[in-house]
Amino acid sequence: MKRRLPWGAMARMTGRRALAAVPVLLAVTFAVFAVAEASPFDPVKAYAGTAGLTASQENLDQLRANLGVDRPLLTRWWEWLTSALTGDLGDSSVMRRPVADVIGERLGWSVLLAVTAFLVAIALGTLLGVLAGRRRGGLLDRTVSSAAYTLEAAPAFWLGLLAIWFFALRLGVLPAGGLTDTASDTVTFDQVARHLVLPALVLGVSQLPWFFLYVRQGVGDALDEDPVRGARARGLGERTVLTGHALRSGMLPMLTLVGSRVPELITGALLVETVFSWPGIAAATVQAATSVDFPLLAALTVLATAAVLLGNLLSDLLYGLADPRVGFDG
């Protein structure tokens, strides 16, 4: 039964993708610098905060020179790029700290949130999808499907606010935001677990419809296909038919979905982290963008782009493995 994995082909595909990623990343970072430069936000004002409102012009000009934001766009981008390649990501002006520190401190919390949400979406989506796909047109299918279409249209931040209003304010059962209780200054497992519930659920539920609809379709179609009918005719149990035959072929489209949902997950996290004051990198991205914090913004964009490219690679690899006809040609 066990089949040898095509390591060589997979490695070649990964290599090709890595090469293609270089120009993409370069273009993306330059675009970030250009867009930030064109935005009406002033990095010096953002840096000075309220003190900037009483500062003298000389003081502000000096700040501009210190921050290096008075130099031409291309120079700044090139300097950022060359020092980033040597491992120095620069200093974040809004966080007043090295960019590497900011990311190091926050990445873990974002990954925790995103992975939990992704697992919630996949697990719930698959389960509901299989149940609905089994009896298309049934009560469960109709309820969940219409809910899924509604959710597809609902923005994540709106779901977040709704969840805060209901669970935190009306019922008072779950905390409204943050990583720990306001009064607590140590990060403990049970506190984080309780504070994770709402944001992870909201983010997961906002991703759920796609998984649900794909699985429902896949399983439903597979149940009508010859192999399943054959299996049924051979007298196999319903459970075996479902998990062994229908689910296996029904899950195939979902593998592509895993990869292609990564960008959506990142934008979703951006909103959810902001709504729930979750101290992750997505919340930092919002701050970096509105304060025109070039080094932080560029590093975070590279990170997001890399995550998207990796997601695509992963889903293509998985697809190639699951369906040898597709292969690893990229």
Partner 1 sequence: MTARFLRGTAAATLAGALALTAAACTNPGSTAGGAGGPKDSAVVGIAYEPETLSPLLGYGKDGNSKIFDGLLAFGADMKLKPALASRLPHISDGGLTYTYTLRDGVTFSDGAPFTSKDVVFTYRTILDPKTNNASRTELDALKSVEAIGDDTVVFRLKYPYAPFAERTVQAIAPAHIAAKQDVNTGPFTTRPIGTGPYVLTGWSKGEKLTFKANTSYWNGAPPVKKFTMAIIKDDDVRATRLRAGDLDGAILPPNLAAGFKDDKAKKTWTATTYDYRTVTLPTHHRVSGDTAVRRALDLAVDRQAMVDKILEGAGKPAYGPVPTDSPWFAEGTERRHDLAGAQKILDEAGWKPGPDGIRVRNGVRAAFPLWYLSGDKLRQDHALAYVSDAKKAGIDITAQAGTWEVIEPRMKTDAVLAGGGSPGDPDFDQYLLLKSDLAGDGFNNMAWYDNATVDRALEAGRRTNDPAERRAAYDTVQRELMKNPGYTFLTHIDHLYVVNDAWDGPSTQIEPHDHGLASGPWWNVESWKPKKAGATQK
Segment lying near partner 1 (by CB under 8 A), choices 78-86, 150-158, 178-186, 236-244: 178-186
Q: Which amino acid is at 315?
A: S
Distances (CA, A) of 78 to 25, 71, 118, 181: 14, 11, 36, 43
Can you tell me which of 14, 21, 30, 59 binds partner 1, judged by CB under 8 A?
59
CB of 63 to partner 1, least distance (A): 6
> CB 125 → partner 1: shortest distance, Å?
31
Instruction: State the nearest-atom distance from the C-beta of 205 to partner 1, in Å.
Output: 22
**Does residue 177 interact with partner 1 by CB under 8 A?**
yes
Residue 40 touches partner 1, criterion: CB under 8 A: yes
Cα–Cα dist 128/133, whole Å: 8
Q: Say whether residue 37 binds partner 1 (CB under 8 A).
A: no
Q: Which residue, 256 or 287, has its beta carbon nearer to partner 1?
A: 287
Residue ranges of the alpha helices (H) in the chain? 7-38, 43-48, 57-67, 73-85, 99-134, 139-153, 156-163, 189-223, 226-233, 238-240, 247-250, 252-260, 262-275, 281-290, 294-322
Count of residues in contact with partner 1, rule CB under 8 A = 48
Question: Helices (DSSP H) in 68-98: which residue ranges?
Answer: 73-85
Q: Is 327 in the site for partner 1 (CB under 8 A)?
A: no
| Least distance (Å) between residue 72 CB and partner 1 | 21
Task: Report 236-295 residues binding partner 1 (CB under 8 A).
Answer: 277, 279, 283, 287
Assess 169 for contact with partner 1 (CB under 8 A): yes
Choose, by CB under 8 A, the member of 5, 22, 153, 183 that binds partner 1.
183
User: Binding partner 1 by CB under 8 A: which of 18, 79, 150, 181?
Assistant: 181
As a whole number of angstroms, the distance between CA 78 and CA 116 comes to: 37
Single residue of 182, 189, 233, 325 touching partner 1 by CB under 8 A = 182
Using rule CB under 8 A, residue 19 touches partner 1? no
Q: How far is the CB of 9 from partner 1 (least distance, A)?
A: 45
In the chain the first and final C-alpha atoms are separated, in Å, by 26
Contact 242, 134 (CB under 8 A): yes
Site string for partner 1, 70-99 (x = CB under 8 A): ---------------------xx-xxxxx-
**C-beta closer to partner 1: residue 47 or 77:** 47
Nearer to partner 1, 150 or 277 (CB): 277
Cα–Cα distance measured from residue 201 to residue 208, given in angstroms and rounded to the nearest whole number: 10
Query: Using an 8 Å Cβ cutoff, are 89 and 299 in contact?
Result: yes
**Which helix (DSSP H) or strand (DSSP E) does residue 92 occupy?**
strand 91-92
Q: Of residues 29, 33, 47, 255, which one binds partner 1 by CB under 8 A?
A: 47
| 8 A C-beta contact, residue 271 and residue 6 | no
Tell me the CB-side half-sphere exposure of residue 288, using CA atoms within 13 A. 27
- Cβ atoms of residues 207 and 121 within 8 Å: yes
Q: Could you give the CA distance from residue 155 to residue 158 in angstroms, rounded to a whole number?
A: 5
Residue 165 to residue 184: CA distance in whole angstroms: 23
Can residue 14 be called a binding residue for partner 1 (CB under 8 A)?
Answer: no
- Supply the minimum distance, in Å, between the C-beta of residue 297 and partner 1: 16
Which residues would be at the binding site for partner 1 (CB under 8 A)? 40-42, 45, 47-60, 62-63, 66-67, 91-92, 94-98, 101, 169, 172-173, 175-179, 181-185, 191, 277, 279, 283, 287
